[in-house]
Structure 1
């Protein structure tokens, strides 16, 4: 193991395993196709999925290829203590169900954009739809890039042919099966991921001398003294505290606006089933994320023991390289199938999310009288178009595949989450506040990105390059502007605005399950002002020089 092994010795073994797995996905998609009769089947699986299946599907779409590759790469290259980050990611689904998932389920909508249209009107919905498309496409780039890198290892193909092959295969099976096929496949893929991550990791840790290898997520305890002797700062928090707060703000609040977890609430057979998804989801994700950190630890330990420095462009392949170094080819082939499952499952959720926004929300707003059959056709067109656009955008990928994913989270937390969460809990939030908050916070986030106006980027070096640091400024701005503009317009409009307020009372109270509208339950402003006061010091701290 003195040299870095880049490919399987037996390529046909890896190809055979991967082909078998994709044949399974296509078979499931073809089976589910018979149940896709209308747009409700295509977008939310006819709202028929049970809690365990949905929890596996939610964990699968949330894991993504970044879990296997991107985060491990950052641990490998930067020795970042990402283990703490999983806590905030695990709370994302419980918060989503608590803050607005149950309300949207009662409302009977397919997407959060549909909620925005009902709550604020079509002009705001168009803005939300544009943000959502940009966010989901940026998120998808990381998945396509990761899968293409797996094909590089698997087949020895250059990046471009690998990218094209992966895009064609994935777009095909998702278009065939719709949401029901994607859900069943996501659940299967989560099982494959867990086995492909945890079991081979146990074998790697055992060969490294870890005494706790039987439980890989925490199995490296006796190796920490050796690691600290080589890298005394390995477990240290190495960056400005605002880096970690920005990560929490961007990821925890960003996921609230992303579609792949919200879909798991909307596809549930009932609200009781949706709530039962939460504990199962936390279990699957907790085990998988802990194992991911252990894999990153093992990667640093391995290459340090060999006295080798892994090139930055190879860091995303650390999981694959470790398995090639320590495990037989058939195990490495299965791990590759697991990595592919991670990327494919997330892409499935995102592609259906994009197709829903395009076909159901945008086309539905432009042509509200369109027959159901044509709406369904537009959904399939949206799926195919999403694959093509994602492929084109992925031609020039970022250095680390997690960069586009982090950027998508931060933009969503800034431009989408405030209008959804505030609109679901306060009747005092109106279209003018929602529109102003979304546009100002979203455009400001883009302007502060190091890839648009480098001179205005928040932070420096790696902090700036990872792209989520502006969230510490733009998320508070999104909430503050939404509240101030809403209450300000209400004050200026006076009595003429009361009809709009009455409609908001009826909608919001109905979403929360109240049968009789009181007009007072969600009309208070005290909690809105408290929220603004809490966000203000975060904004001021974020504006200070890094």
Structure 2
């Protein structure tokens, strides 16, 4: 396959549509900048966003460029049943709101790292901040790579040139607008994404002869008989059950700690508004994820019919290739705008998350006497610096852009989620348990991943390369160590543990909305021991040899 097969013939058409949408993003950013007066406006949009806009913004942040490119590529190359994955991902925001979102909102937290600082102290806060920055950097790399690939198609430029142009343009508008600009732009981008995925997909399915084209997320039914004649094993579960359990552990539990989604909850104008985000989020994300799987099936069907095998690099462009094959150039150009919207919206959330951690959680804690103007200045510098660092890391990308994203999910589930969720619901968790569980489990995840010591990686082939199978070992270790070390520290260091437990009691009761503090509500250890017992067989199963 040559470059001419996947480039738009009318480059000016694609460039015009892309310039138009980016001009809109910059206008929204400039308008929002006028309303950014303090750090709460910059990082949390002044806690003033309603449920509909916030649901669109949260969905947009969640989509990522992998929705259009990387996941479709894996369906194309590996025939993976990713409908299963969508169930795990749709659970993310409902669980986030249920488990700790409302509690952090009552606390007035800016980020989950801010909560860790208040709950366990500055040392634990710096550890959580370090993990978060690494996780968001890896997540962002996948987005920048995907956006650069789209610019390749749009402008016909080499990858490096496309990466530099896209990174500078994106960093500019996000730095200007802050969270308020990012929120309203994300809502706009979600609408663009849904139109750019589902409407062209309907036209593709209709051209393929699918009678259900009028509802694209489930419109591929007519294609399955022909597809199964060509590829009888397409819908089979191709890996052992642990692969799918690891998918749940890494993606669902990992998502709970991701700062860009937590911050969407914290931008709401009330707790009730934050809860009302959930059903809307599930609707938007459900439509998009089912549409993505339908696009993957359509891609497999198309290339099976013409008898062509795609390389991993070409597979990343399956969505664009299908539109170039079945739709006019102006539709393909609009799809490119949708892919860009997916990447840009996620990058916006991640960059805001990094800026908040650096400007508020790190610089703010080191220099609490800083004026509001200087806090804003550090925040804007952090936004710009995040874009530059991500650009440099993205110069040498992985074969599948989704790989770094999956890896980030697993690390978040391992090193961040246990200390947050357990800290919200139990006063028995202390700094010794939180830091030990986070540090040991996080390092274990990195050591067993395929990117550091390939010989130690869990599984082989695609199971190892995706990286998140390690979560079946590292996540149980994270939860068990956090609980066991905390309870052990209570016994061994009673003089130090008692005052910390009393302070935790006051904080935990307050963020759950109780007016009076008691020693009974979140003080038990039985459910913590039961949780350890539930994680133990998962750990043992994860450590057993994996089949090839």
TM range (shorter): over 0.9
Counterpart in the other structure of 1:11: 11
Q: State the Cα deviation string for residues 413-454 of structure 1 (Å, max 9, x = none).
A: 000000000000000000000000000000000000111011
Matches within 5 A, 1:310-349: 310-349=310-349
Distance in 1, Cα, partners of 2:496 & 2:352: 41
Counterpart in the other structure of 1:357: 357
Q: State the Cα deviation string for residues 194-250 of structure 1 (Å, max 9, x = none).
A: 000000000000000101000000001111111111111100110121111111100
* Pairwise CA distance, 1:498: 2.1
TM-score norm. by structure 2 comes to 0.99
Counterpart in the other structure of 1:426: 426
Counterpart in the other structure of 1:256: 256
Q: Given the superposition, is the C-alpha separation of residues 325 and 3 from structure 1 closer, same or farther in structure 2, using an over 3 Å criterion? A: farther
Q: State the Cα deviation string for residues 4-42 of structure 1 (Å, max 9, x = none).
A: 821111110000000000000000000101111110000
Instruction: State whether residues 4 and 325 of structure 1, in contact with CA within 8 Å, keep that contact through their aligned partners in structure 2.
Output: no
Distance in 1, Cα, partners of 2:32 & 2:359: 20
Counterpart in the other structure of 1:53: 53
| Aligned partner of residue 140 in structure 2, secondary structure | helix
Instruction: State whether residues 430 and 497 of structure 2, in contact with CA within 8 Å, keep that contact through their aligned partners in structure 1.
Output: no
Q: State the Cα deviation string for residues 505-535 of structure 1 (Å, max 9, x = none).
A: 1000001000000121000011101100000
More off after superposition, 487-496 vs 252-261? 487-496
Counterpart in the other structure of 2:403: 403
Distance in 2, Cα, partners of 1:22 & 1:312: 29
Distance in 2, Cα, partners of 1:174 & 1:495: 48
Instruction: State whether residues 128 and 416 of structure 2, in contact with CA within 8 Å, keep that contact through their aligned partners in structure 1.
Output: yes
Q: State the Cα deviation string for residues 164-200 of structure 1 (Å, max 9, x = none).
A: 0000000000000000000000000000000000000
Distance in 1, Cα, partners of 2:379 & 2:417: 25
* Pairwise CA distance, 1:499: 1.8
Unaligned ranges ≥5, structure 1: none
Counterpart in the other structure of 1:77: 77
Provide the alpha-carbon RMSD of the alignment.
Answer: 1.1
Counterpart in the other structure of 1:438: 438
Counterpart in the other structure of 1:523: 523
Distance in 2, Cα, partners of 1:312 & 1:297: 16
Does 2:490 align with 1:481? no
Distance in 2, Cα, partners of 1:190 & 1:495: 52
Instruction: State whether residues 2 and 306 of structure 1, in contact with CA within 8 Å, keep that contact through their aligned partners in structure 2.
Output: no
Instruction: State whether residues 489 and 497 of structure 2, in contact with CA within 8 Å, keep that contact through their aligned partners in structure 1.
Output: no
Counterpart in the other structure of 1:134: 134
Matches within 5 A, 1:34-45: 34-45=34-45
| Aligned partner of residue 137 in structure 1, secondary structure | helix
| Aligned partner of residue 212 in structure 1, secondary structure | helix
Q: State the Cα deviation string for residues 115-152 of structure 1 (Å, max 9, x = none).
A: 00000000111100000000000000000000000000
Distance in 1, Cα, partners of 2:56 & 2:206: 28
| Aligned partner of residue 238 in structure 2, secondary structure | coil
Counterpart in the other structure of 1:205: 205
Counterpart in the other structure of 2:163: 163
| Aligned partner of residue 5 in structure 2, secondary structure | coil
Distance in 2, Cα, partners of 1:256 & 1:387: 24
More off after superposition, 480-489 vs 448-457? 448-457
| Aligned partner of residue 12 in structure 1, secondary structure | helix
Q: State the Cα deviation string for residues 473-520 of structure 1 (Å, max 9, x = none).
A: 000000000000000000112355322211111000001000000121
Matches within 5 A, 1:31-430: 31-430=31-430
Instruction: State whether residues 49 and 267 of structure 2, in contact with CA within 8 Å, keep that contact through their aligned partners in structure 1.
Output: yes
Distance in 2, Cα, partners of 1:68 & 1:248: 21
Distance in 1, Cα, partners of 2:505 & 2:235: 50
More off after superposition, 360-369 vs 70-79? 360-369
Q: State the Cα deviation string for residues 329-377 of structure 1 (Å, max 9, x = none).
A: 0000000000000000000000000011011111011111111110110
Distance in 1, Cα, partners of 2:494 & 2:60: 49
Distance in 1, Cα, partners of 2:97 & 2:365: 27
* Pairwise CA distance, 1:84: 1.3
Q: Given the superposition, is the C-alpha separation of residues 241 and 4 from structure 1 closer, same or farther in structure 2, using an over 3 Å criterion? A: farther
Instruction: State whether residues 428 and 486 of structure 1, in contact with CA within 8 Å, keep that contact through their aligned partners in structure 2.
Output: yes
Distance in 2, Cα, partners of 1:2 & 1:337: 23
Q: State the Cα deviation string for residues 254-300 of structure 1 (Å, max 9, x = none).
A: 01111111011100000000000000000000000000000000000
Unaligned ranges ≥5, structure 2: none
**Alignment length (residue pairs):** 546
Q: State the Cα deviation string for residues 85-121 of structure 1 (Å, max 9, x = none).
A: 1011001000000110100000001001110000000
Instruction: State whether residues 450 and 464 of structure 2, in contact with CA within 8 Å, keep that contact through their aligned partners in structure 1.
Output: yes
Distance in 2, Cα, partners of 1:379 & 1:2: 43
| Aligned partner of residue 147 in structure 2, secondary structure | helix
Instruction: State whether residues 5 and 325 of structure 1, in contact with CA within 8 Å, keep that contact through their aligned partners in structure 2.
Output: no
Distance in 2, Cα, partners of 1:278 & 1:16: 35
Instruction: State whether residues 410 and 468 of structure 1, in contact with CA within 8 Å, keep that contact through their aligned partners in structure 2.
Output: yes
Distance in 2, Cα, partners of 1:498 & 1:35: 45
Q: State the Cα deviation string for residues 18-76 of structure 1 (Å, max 9, x = none).
A: 00000000000001011111100000000000000000000000000000000000000
* Pairwise CA distance, 1:379: 0.1
Q: State the Cα deviation string for residues 364-393 of structure 1 (Å, max 9, x = none).
A: 111111111101100000000000000000
Matches within 5 A, 1:13-28: 13-28=13-28
Counterpart in the other structure of 2:467: 467
| Aligned partner of residue 40 in structure 1, secondary structure | helix
Distance in 1, Cα, partners of 2:498 & 2:292: 53
Distance in 1, Cα, partners of 2:498 & 2:2: 75
